[in-house]
Amino acid sequence: LFQYTRGTVTAFAPFDARADAEALRKAMKGLGTDEETVLTILTTRNNAQRQEIASAFKTLFGRDLVDDLKSELTGKFETLMVSLMRPAYIFDAHALKHAIKGAGTNEKVLTEILASRTPAEVQNIKQVYLQEYEANLEDKITGETSGHFQRLLVVLLQANRDPDVGVDEALVEQDAQVLFRAGELKWGTDEEKFITILGTRSISHLRRVFDKYMTISGFQIEETIDRETSGDLEKLLLAVVKCIRSVPAYFAETLYYSMKGAGTDDDTLIRVMVSRSEIDLLDIRREFRKNFAKSLYQTIQKDTSGDYRKALLLLCGGDDD
């Protein structure tokens, strides 16, 4: 398995699961909770270590750590701590399950996860979904979505993107022309061409296609998508294009907009900070600083408060100024 090394959270050493379990029990026992201890331990251990702590907690006290966190904590802080405790392998499957359950579908979550995960990660999500929820993820998603948005999600779920092996310039030229004719040159857009090309070609091929597209049309492909499509399909196409250009830049932008303006989209903020903390949060921080003229750390500091803020800042792992 490909190991990411650009996370802000790494294995804590020297690690003692029992000592951590004891410290957490003490922090939550009796009247009032020592939130500081809880957040410090959980944000500075990696996910694998958190699972060991949960197991030690049950061994020593016969209690479920996640249940205790839920009964002792509240609000966004509780959501963040419980999210940190979710086993890494199930994190995305769980997020997708909750995005497609009950009334209304959370298209934002489907878009973010399926546009940004690698084919190997998507295969894993489908497998885990089947094991954990005894349901087929693709069936669930097609049952709740429609149109070209649904088709592109299905293409991404196949996880059959071409591998990155050498780029054929003739095919680059051809794809760029096809997209140009399907978008800018046509009354109404031939969405299917966009779906097939953006959903199946290799990353390095598509990066060349985007350059070539700009040369041919005078527009960035994002501008064409913005003009020619709308709604959920537009958001998904843009997310796919941005992730092909740079996954960390895509997440930097996602974080920026989760905190921009009035009110914070805490679900997105928590999901991205937790899911990328051991993967590429250092790269995301760098892109954030580069593209938004302030650091992720300062933005979180300004936009959140209390224990929730302390925990997020620890996950962020430092400032970039």
Distance CA 239, CA 234 (A): 9
Computed over every residue of the chain, the mean pLDDT equals 94
Over residues 183-193, mean pLDDT = 81
Residue 206 has pLDDT above 50, yes or no: yes
Q: Which of 3-7, 67-71, 80-84, 223-227 has the lowest mean pLDDT?
A: 3-7
pLDDT for position 111? 97
Residue 102 has pLDDT above 70, yes or no: no
Please report, for the chain, the start and end positions of each structural domain, with discontinuous segments joined by +.
Answer: 17-87, 89-158, 169-245, 248-316
Nearest residue to 268 via CA among 82, 150, 95: 95
CB atoms near residue 291 (< 10 Å): 11
* Same fold flag, 17-87 and 169-245: yes
- Domain 17-87's class? mainly alpha
List pLDDT tens digits, range 50-98: 999 999 999 999 999 999 999 999 999 999 999 999 999 999 999 999 9
Ramachandran quadrant class, 30 (left: phi over 0; alpha: psi -120 to 50; beta: rest): left
CB atoms near residue 54 (< 10 Å): 20
pTM equals: 0.94
Architecture per CATH, 169-245: Orthogonal Bundle (1.10)
pLDDT for position 103? 66
Q: Angle 35-44/17-28 helices, nearest 10 degrees?
A: 150
Over residues 296-307, mean pLDDT = 96
Handedness of CA 222, 149, 175, 180 (dihedral sign): negative
Say if domain 89-158 classifies as CATH 1.10.220.10.
Answer: yes
- Give 31's pLDDT tier (boundaries 50, 70, 90): confident
pLDDT for position 1? 43
Residue 2 has pLDDT above 60, yes or no: no
Say if domain 248-316 classifies as CATH 3.40.470.10.
Answer: no
Over residues 122-129, mean pLDDT = 97
